[in-house]
Amino acid sequence: MERTHVSTTINGDRVEFLCDSDQTLLDVLRDELQLTGSKEGCASGDCGACSVMLDGRLVCACLVLGAEATGRKVETIEGMAQGEELHPLQRKFLDHAALQCGICTPGFLIAAKALLECNTEPSETEVRYWLAGNLCRCTGYDKIVRAVLDTAAEMRGA
């Protein structure tokens, strides 16, 4: 099969890759670019483990073709920390022990970051509603929700 040449931006870096026309963005990230932070839980848009930002919009990378990244801006979990400095959400997830196996965690972090960028003071209901597309089979969600609310409070200086 002839491969497609794609030029895109990932976490601020210009990136070029070759992909098959039916290869998902998730498979490209993980298999072609070795960006394995985004996880595959279901490959059908149901679990949110593969969440990334595409031109500022939260998407499931398993539902986007790699070729669709052409000329776009992709943000993945690998771009969340600034060097050694964790994003406040990453710190709070650790503080609240909001992860167990960790498969869902990158997706939750990306989705929660997107929430806090458009709503700096979400209610618990709003956090739960926003994260409804992210499934966790380990934590029971409570610690995740607490971590997001605590992050929001810290980022507001509350």
**Binding footprint of ligand FES on the chain (CB under 6 A):** 40-43, 45-50, 60, 62, 99-104, 136-139
Picking from 70, 45, 38, 72, the residue whose alpha carbon sits closest to that of residue 60 is 45
Q: For ligand FES, which is the closer residue by CB, 10 or 136?
A: 136
Q: How far is the CB of 66 from ligand FES (least distance, A)?
A: 14
Q: For ligand FES, which is the closer residue by CB, 71 or 140?
A: 140
How many CB atoms neighbour CB 83 within 10 A? 5
Q: For ligand FES, which is the closer residue by CB, 114 or 155?
A: 114
Q: How far is the CB of 60 from ligand FES (least distance, A)?
A: 4
Query: Rounded distance, CA 122 to CA 111, Å?
Result: 13
Q: How far is the CB of 123 from ligand FES (least distance, A)?
A: 23
Q: For ligand FES, which is the closer residue by CB, 5 or 31?
A: 31
Q: How far is the CB of 134 from ligand FES (least distance, A)?
A: 9
Strand partners, 82: 85
